[in-house]
Amino acid sequence: MCGIIGYTGHQSVQPLLIDGLRTLEYRGYDSSGISILSRGKLKTWKAAGKLDSLVGQLPAKPSSGSTGIGHTRWATHGAPTDENAHPHTNNDGAIAVVHNGIIENADALKQSLAPHNIAFASDTDTEVLAHLIALAPGNTLTERVRHTLLKVNGTYGLAVVDANEPGVVVVARNGSPVIIGHGDNEMFVASDMSALARHTREVSHLEDGEMAKLTTKGCEISAIDDRLLHRTGQRSTIIPEEISQQYDRGGYEHYLYREITDQSETVRRTLGGRIDRRFNTAHLGGLNLDARELINLGRIRILGCGSAYYAGGAGADMIESLARIPCSAEPAAEFRYRNPVIERDTLYIVVSQSGETFDTLAATREIKRKGGRVLGIVNGVGSTIAREVDGGIYMHAGPEMSVASTKAYTSMLTCFALLALHLARIRDLSPQRGGALIDALDALPDLIEGALATEEKVITIAEQYHRVNSLFFIGRASACATAHEGAQKLKEISYIHAESYPASELKHGPLALISPETPTVVILPDDDLFEKSFASLAEIKARQGPAIVVTQSTDDRLNTTADAVINVPASDPLLHPIIMGIPLQLFAYHCARLLKRDIDQPRNLAKSVTVE
Ligand code: F6R
């Protein structure tokens, strides 16, 4: 949410900043801007709208500077306008600030500036920082930023430049990611490793409460409150290969389509090295928990936001049904705000693609503060959540560029299937049943290919239904999470209203809305509950509701009852949520395409929600 980029070195900074913002644009795309230090002056350009609006304003011959900062915004305070775009500057334009986060005491800070007759140019909470830094005591930019930040309540990842200190970028972090890239006589900073990967592989993660001065000679990291201990040494890490590799649209019009169609490969990576045929279990070395600790678990609680929460719902079902450990999922923000009891024999699992989602991170910290043990299922290698959990499973799905999650969602479910198998084999799952599940997991990439092969059929259905005003998605037990995720994908990228329910809940209210104008997508797995789910389908048809069924079943009654049937490959029931989600992703994609939506960057949304 909001992307930050900064550089100081010997390269022409303008193309470098724009290139970085292009990579970061998925984090926010309502406005963007850059500030460049050139010949003792600071020049700032900013524009509402997508990055191309900014590019259209820039001089054809790049500005000569080699120090600068840039920002791509997802609005929190103030509408997406030119004025509210970052960087924000002080009145003489010498200081420029880019900021990700929320300054909670911005109003009080503004009032404290009343005697200085400052003309505020924007409605943002960020602008006050530029004025405060300009007026702060201190001989260096670092001192003035420090002095300012000690007055600030809230969250920030920020970068600051000052026309009076050429070649210097000051950065600071409290709650929003700031990653420093080390180059050869040049330094980079970004809110996301992917923006650094093409320049360097060596990075340092700033921790909350730290700031740094970047110059061509390197970086000096210190505590914002310098009464606290300074960091000793440089704790730099290497950007992993999977992020360094350029990830483009692969010739497709949309990242989302590439990410959907890549899923057999991404799941293969998630499974890589994790199948243990010797003991017919999953090998999950990163859990940092041995069998003796896992056998004593009384309960598992899964936390995440949005699609990660829905993946948690499916994961809870996998774990409880296979390993027979009570397991439930809850939205991370709701969990932390209800002052949860942290139980000694409970294992907490946080799920996050980015590894930076504020609410999931805050829940992680709250559990750890209360003495609980937290595992992470995370895609973002080296992300804040990945660094703060006690152990976990990396998804290895590679960068997910489209705002709507698809391949990461599928990899989350694959991680849960591995974890369920691992836990079940520690408990009472037989080696034979473990072996059968391993065969099923081995076949998963091919089964995903089979599910992707439903696309022709899905396109026909999307052509028929993309103009409806509203749809229902229903599923029973393990299919319920799939229904929630199917509705979520459709809403996000096509803007068609959709509601999801456990199938059993339909008759307790929503059935009143079933009509010939309101289709229902019925997730109907070929499992023990088939007849019960079929009864829900029959109830919909009895009220003339169009029904689209996703199933493995070849039961003849489906073709005569449903209006459309999408047949996915049969598999072990453990894997049903993985395979049955794929046609729903394709359905959302093709509805959105037919409606000419902005598929990779849907309105009002941003990837990686790093504010509360
Ligand atoms: C939906 C979607 C969001 C995210 C949610 C959590 O397609 O992408 O609902 O799932 O914002 O994000 P992460 O997984 O990065 O914590």
Q: What is the rounded distance in angstroms from the CA atom of residue 4 to the CA atom of residue 187? A: 14
Q: What is the rounded distance in angstroms from the CA atom of residue 478 to the CA atom of residue 112? A: 55
Q: What is the rounded distance in angstroms from the CA atom of residue 160 to the CA atom of residue 329? A: 40
Question: Strand, helix or coil at 318?
Answer: helix
Ligand 1 neighbourhood includes 305 CB (under 6 angstroms): yes
**Structural fold of domain 250-450:** Rossmann fold (3.40.50)
Atom of ligand 1 nearest to the CA of 408: 14
Whose Cα sits closest to atom 6 in ligand 1? 305
Cis before 340? omega within 30: no
Q: What is the rounded distance in angstroms from the CA atom of residue 444 to the CA atom of residue 441? A: 5
What is the edge-to-edge ordering of all strands in the sheet holding 187-190? 41-48, 31-38, 67-73, 3-8, 187-190, 179-182, 202-205, 236-238
Distance of CA 405 from the midpoint of ligand 1 (Å) = 6
Which of 77-86, 200-209, 314-323, 335-344 holds the top average pLDDT?
Answer: 314-323
Tell me, what DSSP letter sits at residue 515? B
Q: How many CA atoms lie within 13 A of 494 on its CB side?
A: 30
Reported confidence tier of residue 610, pLDDT bands at 50, 70, 90: confident
Structure tokens at 489: 């994908």
Q: What is the rounded distance in angstroms from the CA atom of residue 161 to the CA atom of residue 20? A: 17
Instruction: Name the β-bridge partners of 159.
Output: 98, 171
Position 230 scores a pLDDT of 54
pLDDT at residue 1 is higher than 80? no
- Residue 606 burial (10 A CB sphere; 0-12, 13-18, 19+): buried
What's the chain's average pLDDT?
93
Q: What is the rounded distance in angstroms from the CA atom of residue 364 to the CA atom of residue 391? A: 12
Write out pLDDT tens, residues 444-476: 999 999 999 999 999 999 999 999 999 999 999
Ligand 1 neighbourhood includes 384 CB (under 6 angstroms): no
Distance of CA 309 from the midpoint of ligand 1 (Å) = 8
Whose Cα sits closest to atom 3 in ligand 1? 306
Distance of CA 114 from the midpoint of ligand 1 (Å) = 41
Q: Specify the CATH superfamily of domain 453-612.
A: Glucose-6-phosphate isomerase like protein; domain 1 (3.40.50.10490)
Position 231 scores a pLDDT of 55
Structure tokens at 104: 């909670």
Angle, in degrees to the nearest 10, between helices 431-452 and 407-426: 170
Question: Tokens 């000051």 appear where?
Answer: 170
The predicted model scores a pTM of 0.90
Q: Are 186 and 393 in contact (CB under 8 A)?
A: no
pLDDT at residue 561 is higher than 90? yes
Write out pLDDT tens, residues 474-514: 999 989 999 999 999 999 999 999 999 999 998 899 889 99
- Would you list the domain boundaries of the chain? 3-245, 250-450, 453-612
Q: How many Å separate Cα 220 from the centre of its chain?
A: 30
What dihedral angle (degrees, nearest 10) is formed by the CA atoms of 484, 489, 494, 498?
0
Angle, in degrees to the nearest 10, between helices 407-426 and 576-594: 170
Position 232 scores a pLDDT of 44
Distance of CA 48 from the midpoint of ligand 1 (Å) = 25
Atom of ligand 1 nearest to the CA of 357: 16
Structure tokens at 426: 């520690």
CA distances from 384 to 179, 353, 455 (A): 10, 12, 37
User: What DSSP letter does each residue of 503-514 carry, written as one string?
Assistant: GGGGGGTGGGG-
Ligand 1 neighbourhood includes 610 CB (under 6 angstroms): no
Ligand 1 neighbourhood includes 608 CB (under 6 angstroms): yes
Q: Specify the CATH superfamily of domain 3-245.
A: Aminohydrolase, N-terminal nucleophile (Ntn) domain (3.60.20.10)
Question: Tokens 């995903």 appear where?
Answer: 448
pLDDT at residue 246 is higher than 70? no
Phi, psi of 125, deg, nearest 5: -80, -15
Q: Which of 417, 407, 453 is nearest to 438 (CA)?
A: 417
Quick one: average pLDDT of 171-200? Answer: 93
Residue 342, amino acid: I
Position 77 scores a pLDDT of 74
Counting residues of the chain whose pLDDT is more than 70, the rounded percentage is 98
Write out pLDDT tens, residues 399-430: 898 999 999 999 999 999 999 999 999 999 99
Q: What is the rounded distance in angstroms from the CA atom of residue 337 to the CA atom of residue 541? A: 41
Ligand 1 neighbourhood includes 353 CB (under 6 angstroms): yes
The answer for residues whose C-beta is within 8 angstroms of residue 24's C-beta and 6 or more apart is: 3, 4, 5, 72, 190, 191, 192, 194, 195
Residue 61, amino acid: K
Please check whether the two domains, 3-245 and 250-450, share a CATH topology: no
**Catalytic residue flag (residue 607):** yes
**Catalytic residue flag (residue 2):** yes
